[in-house]
Amino acid sequence: MKQAEKVLVVGLDSAPTLLLDEWLPHLPNLRRLAEEGVYGPIESSVPAITIPAWATFATSKNPGQLGFFGFRNRLDCSYDRLATANATSLKEPTIWQLLSQAGKRVGLMGVPQTYPPPQVNGFVISCFMTPGADSEYTWPRELKEEIRFKFGDYLFDCKFRTEAKAALLAQIYQMTGQHFRIARHLLSSLPWDFFMMVEMGPDRLQHAFWKYFDPQHRKYQAGSDWERAIPSYYQYLDREIGELLAGMGDEVAVIVVSDHGAKRMEGSFNLNDWLIQEGYLQLAEPVTGVTELRRVRVDWSRTIAWGWGGYYGRVFLNVAGREAQGIVPPAQYERLRDDLAGKLAAIKDDRGRPMATRALRPQEVYHGPYTDQAPDLCVYFDDLYWRASEDVGHDGLYAFETELGPDDAVHDQHGIYILRPPGGGGGRRLEGLRLLDGGAPTILQLFGLPVPEDMEGKPVAI
Amino acid sequence: MELEKGFCIWFTGVPASGKSTVAAAVERRLRERGLKVENLDADEVRRNLSPDLKYSKEDRDMNTKRLAYLASLLCRNGVSALIAAVASYREFRDRARRMIDHFAEVWVDCPLEECRRRDPKGLYARGDRGEVDDIAGVHQPYEAPLNPEVHLKTDQMSVDEAADLVIRRLEELRYLPREEDEEVYSPEEEEKIKRRLKALGYL
């Protein structure tokens, strides 16, 4: 393979495989990259969530090696000591560290888990996990003033749970537009060999607008003003990517990648309410109305298991000798977990139809020193079509509206991957791609640098 | 961006104590953080600037003076300098300290038996065969530092551990910005982030 002089990664958080399967003919810039390179659906991490997925891309390590399994993680076996994963949680060497060590000039923008900004050989604008515009969110620090002077306060994110759809759509375009303007400025004004940006706009847009666009969605509204909001936004993204690449020769390798895909949300399954119903979770006092689990007194002396929610469910067993007030005898752990996994897999949806639920044991999906710190079960309700809610006190096990506001999409295990290597790759569609392969090892190989042996992935074969 | 002054780290110790190895590991870590660094290899500088000098005290004096001068020029212009050189007399190192604003002396300390065992350049072996008689610590005195910024016992730690100690000390000295490895978020920020993540559906 021809060696790349530079590598540019455009991350589109949550871009679905529909992009490759249906939209590509209408996205001239991405289509050209695919036709000149290789492309295909790419398998995310378990769970298929922004954290740990981008970290898997950046390190080629699974969460059992990385030590985090989502945005928040338990610090110990107490019930309430948690930490939010951030840049300092990344202990495995990242592609930006490895390239910095090799003397390459590295630029990062909006890449999840880069707050606080890592001190790379180059520049960083951190991600949406930055507390606010007052935080130190750039490396070097002086870059922040320059960005603020030229572009105004950096737009980290937007709140998608709103019925004010027109205003939200405008906000998403404003944010994405600012990011690409800044990216063009950085690439033209600073030296770089490797640049990676991740745009969160696609994820936010899909959560807010999926029901208008997908006829299979429960809440599908045909002929709405927003029917084309999602495809139109991807056409806009395509133009922005085209502009970003304008003037770059084909000695620059380009990767367009998503950390996971997206699909319609069927609903939200009330995991802890179910655990209460089945006798696994005992509250010390009754709750009135929907309440966050952390605000409720749990009777740990009688609790066997409790759960966390999100786009996937995490279930923890209250194990004697491990948890602070554990009661599950270690000798019964495996049997109890198997029972619970079986019951979770047998849950039917609100219409009494079977769900394709998978309750994964960490030992099946992870390997590495942190495997034992993973949740005892990682639950994909109906293959992720249902999200999980950890709040208690719902009226029933299934929810379709949340007190937080609307959300219409969930994550899919597969995202997209397009790689245009220098010299081209023949436009082949590849199957079986993994985030483990498509990130760090492939990028190192593009630069002609050795791939460390402990990376789990192999460079994508071009 | 403002041009800040660089710093100079002088790795001192007897031959084969691990000076160059640790310096190279520190150099990698500094480059990783985007710092401009020059590793002034003692042998290379000798070859280029002082081919006339040998290993008498006078020659060693002149060689370390040249190294320190070179480092001071680099530091003044925002490039940090790493020097791995025996600099066997205290006065040589103290002079360098006076010449450079941000200076750190790292004593790369290793028992002579271990240095003899390592002997990567075959210097001790040549000494034993009588081919050289000017090895610091064997034929000539080596004055160990009294108050080094860092004291590394390289027979008791790995190269990575040694390099980490040096980096941590540079952070303490404020020569390097600290890598924030403690609490990243204040309790208020943590709560704010939690609410945001919940609103985003992640929790």
Determine the pLDDT at residue B181: 47
**A273 pLDDT higher than 90:** yes
**B186 pLDDT higher than 90:** no
| Residue A368: half-sphere exposure toward Cβ, Cα within 13 Å | 19
B68: buried, middle or exposed (CB in 10 Å: 19+, 13-18, 0-12)? buried
Which distant-in-sequence residues (6+ apart) come within 8 Å of A305 by Cβ?
A275, A280, A281, A315, A316, A317, A318, A340, A376
Rg (CA), chain A: 22
Q: Which two tokens stand for residue A410?
A: 């969930």
Is B179 in Cβ contact with A309 (below 8 Å)?
Answer: no
Ranges assigned E (strand) in A153-209: 194-199
The shortest CB-CB distance from B181 to any of A88, A311, A404 is to: A88
Rg (CA), chain B: 21
For the segment B159-176, what is each residue's pLDDT rounded down to a tens digit?
999 999 999 889 878 788
Q: Are strands A252-257 and A414-420 parallel, antiparallel or unpaired?
A: antiparallel
Is A160 in Cβ contact with B200 (below 8 Å)?
Answer: yes
Q: Nearest to residue B102, comparing CAs of B42, B26, B170, B41?
A: B170
Give the range among A374-383, A389-398, B49-58 with minimum mean pLDDT. Answer: B49-58
Q: How close does chain A come to B23, measured CA to CA in Å? A: 14
For the segment B56-95, what is each residue's pLDDT rounded down to a tens digit?
999 999 999 999 999 999 999 999 999 999 999 999 999 9
For the segment A292-324, what is each residue's pLDDT rounded down to a tens digit?
999 899 999 999 999 999 999 999 999 998 998
Q: Nearest to residue A163, comparing CAs of A228, A231, A235, A219?
A: A219
Residues B80, B166: Cα–Cα separation, whole Å: 14
The shortest CB-CB distance from A88 to any of B184, B190, B198 is to: B184
Measured between beta carbons, which residues in chain A are less than 8 angstroms from residue B28?
Answer: 101
Q: Which two tokens stand for residue A9?
A: 């990664």
The shortest CB-CB distance from B31 to any of A101, A311, A387 is to: A101
Q: Nearest to residue B82, comparing CAs of B34, B160, B26, B32?
A: B26
Structural domains present in chain A: 6-264+411-446 (3.40.720.10), 267-406 (no CATH)
> Are B108 and B152 within 8 A, CB to CB?
yes
pTM of the model: 0.78
For the segment A200-257, what is each residue's pLDDT rounded down to a tens digit?
999 999 999 999 999 999 999 899 999 999 999 999 999 999 999 998 988 999 999 9
Is B177 in Cβ contact with A119 (below 8 Å)?
Answer: yes
Length reported for chain B:
203
Determine the pLDDT at residue A82: 86
DSSP H stretches of helix in B100-149? 112-118, 123-128
Give the range among A139-148, A259-268, A360-369, B29-38 with minimum mean pLDDT. Answer: B29-38
**A120 pLDDT higher than 70:** yes
For residues A252-280, one letter each, b for 16 or more C-beta atoms within 10 angstroms of the residue's C-beta and e for the rest, the string is: bbbbbbbbbbbbbbbbbbbbbbbbbeeeb
Q: Nearest to residue A48, comparing CAs of A381, A457, A455?
A: A381
Q: How close does chain A come to B32, measured CA to CA in Å? A: 5
> Are A157 and A204 within 8 A, CB to CB?
yes
Determine the pLDDT at residue A403: 66
Cβ of B179 under 8 Å from any chain A Cβ? yes
Is A115 in Cβ contact with B193 (below 8 Å)?
Answer: no
Residues B39, B154: Cα–Cα separation, whole Å: 20
**B183 pLDDT higher than 80:** no
Structural domains present in chain B: 8-199 (3.40.50.300)
A227: buried, middle or exposed (CB in 10 Å: 19+, 13-18, 0-12)? middle
Q: How close does chain A come to B35, measured CA to CA in Å? A: 7
Which distant-in-sequence residues (6+ apart) come within 8 Å of A8 by Cβ?
A187, A194, A195, A196, A244, A245, A248, A252, A253, A254, A255
Q: How close does chain A come to B182, measured CA to CA in Å? A: 8
B179 band by pLDDT with thresholds 50, 70 and 90: low
For the segment A138-165, what is each residue's pLDDT rounded down to a tens digit?
999 999 999 999 999 999 999 898 889 9
Residues A204, A172: Cα–Cα separation, whole Å: 8
The shortest CB-CB distance from B34 to any of A86, A119, A390 is to: A119
Determine the pLDDT at residue B182: 53
How far CA A84 is from CA of A81, A122, A342, B184, in Å, comes to: 10, 26, 30, 9
